[in-house]
């Protein structure tokens, strides 16, 4: 029996582990012949996402990150675990346009881009926060995403897809997230940024994804206890699914990896309400009262 939803969800089934519909070995999710780019591919969810695309048969996977050692470790692990996989490393800081443009030139044409790099500032209320650390959330989560989009989108192949990692914290009231202003506001900006990408590049399948609650270094830094953990394969496999034609129906939307994809696909609201699962002000559009 599946666990009850941790939060209210648009579908009845709440997932904490991977399952058949998002399994990388599925023919429907095949990435054979495709070139993949993944930022933040050196650790945690990023590393597992690299593995997922390798299992799905991607021809080449380019991984970007600031730390050579962690990228090399990902390459070594995945190429050993997945026969025939090819991982290419690019040391780049997503906040530095020159280094990202250099990586984009080295990659060339691509089919799938996963924007996974992110930063969690220390949780501090406004009266106690360090301004530089608070703003670093915007440097990486907003400016970094803007830079990678600007640098890589010109070299996309036809029918390209782009998946960006955001966070479900944007859905929660600020009163429940004391001290989390930088992360929450920057992740909300991330979602809106990629809604603009979806609108301005209608040929690209753009989705943003909440990656669940996974036991990573970033999650430990959040110091949030008591939440049930998701298996790291769940967000990795969900991101793979989100990059595939199977997720085309949800183009431009923000999805949680815990939501069952087959039930999502059956939701009439996705087809009938263009603002469903997008960012906005609660209650809008309003009923006209004049």
Number of folded domains that form the chain: 1
Quick check: is 12 in a domain?
no
Residue 146 belongs to some domain of the structure: yes
Q: CATH no. for residue 199?
A: 3.40.50.720
Q: Is residue 9 assigned to a domain? A: no
pLDDT tens digits along 36-65? 999 999 999 999 999 999 999 999 999 999
Q: pTM higher than 0.85 for the full model?
A: yes
Could you list the residue range(s) of the whole structural domain that residue 200 is in?
Answer: 20-260
Specify if 290 maps to a domain.
Answer: no
267 in a structural domain: no
Query: Is the per-residue pLDDT at 221 higher than 50?
Result: no
Token pair of 127 as six digits: 């009266």
- As a whole number, mean pLDDT of residues 66-86 equals 97
* 274 part of a folded domain: no
285 vs 270, residue with greater confidence: 270
């Amino acid at each position: 029996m599946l666990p009850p939803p941790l939060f209210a969800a648009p579908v009845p089934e709440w997932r904490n582990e991977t399952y058949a519909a998002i399994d990388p070995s599925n023919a429907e999710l095949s990435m054979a012949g495709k070139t993949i780019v993944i930022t933040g591919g050196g650790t945690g969810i990023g590393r597992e996402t690299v593995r997922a695309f390798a299992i799905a048969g991607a021809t080449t996977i380019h991984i970007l990150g600031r730390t050579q050692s962690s990228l090399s470790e990902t390459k070594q692990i995945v190429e050993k675990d997945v026969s025939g996989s090819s991982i290419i490393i690019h040391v780049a800081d997503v906040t530095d346009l020159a280094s990202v443009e250099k990586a984009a030139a080295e990659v060339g044409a691509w089919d799938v881009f996963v924007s996974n790099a992110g930063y969690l500032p220390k949780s501090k209320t406004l009266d106690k926060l360090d301004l530089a650390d608070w703003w670093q959330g915007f440097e990486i989560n907003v400016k970094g995403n803007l830079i990678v989009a600007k640098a890589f989108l010109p070299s996309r192949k036809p029918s390209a897809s782009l998946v960006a990692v955001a966070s479900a914290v944007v859905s929660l009231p600020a009163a429940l997230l004391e001290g989390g202003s930088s992360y929450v506001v920057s992740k909300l900006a991330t979602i809106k940024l990629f809604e603009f990408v979806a609108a301005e590049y209608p040929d690209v399948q753009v989705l943003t994804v909440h990656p669940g609650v996974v036991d990573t270094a970033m999650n430990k830094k959040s110091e949030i206890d008591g939440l049930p953990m998701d298996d790291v394969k769940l967000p990795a496999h969900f991101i793979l699914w989100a990059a595939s034609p199977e997720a085309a129906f949800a183009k431009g939307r923000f999805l949680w990896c815990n939501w069952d994809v087959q039930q999502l696909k059956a939701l009439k609201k996705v087809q009938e309400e263009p603002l469903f699962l997008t960012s906005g002000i609660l209650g809008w559009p309003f009923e006209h009262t004049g």
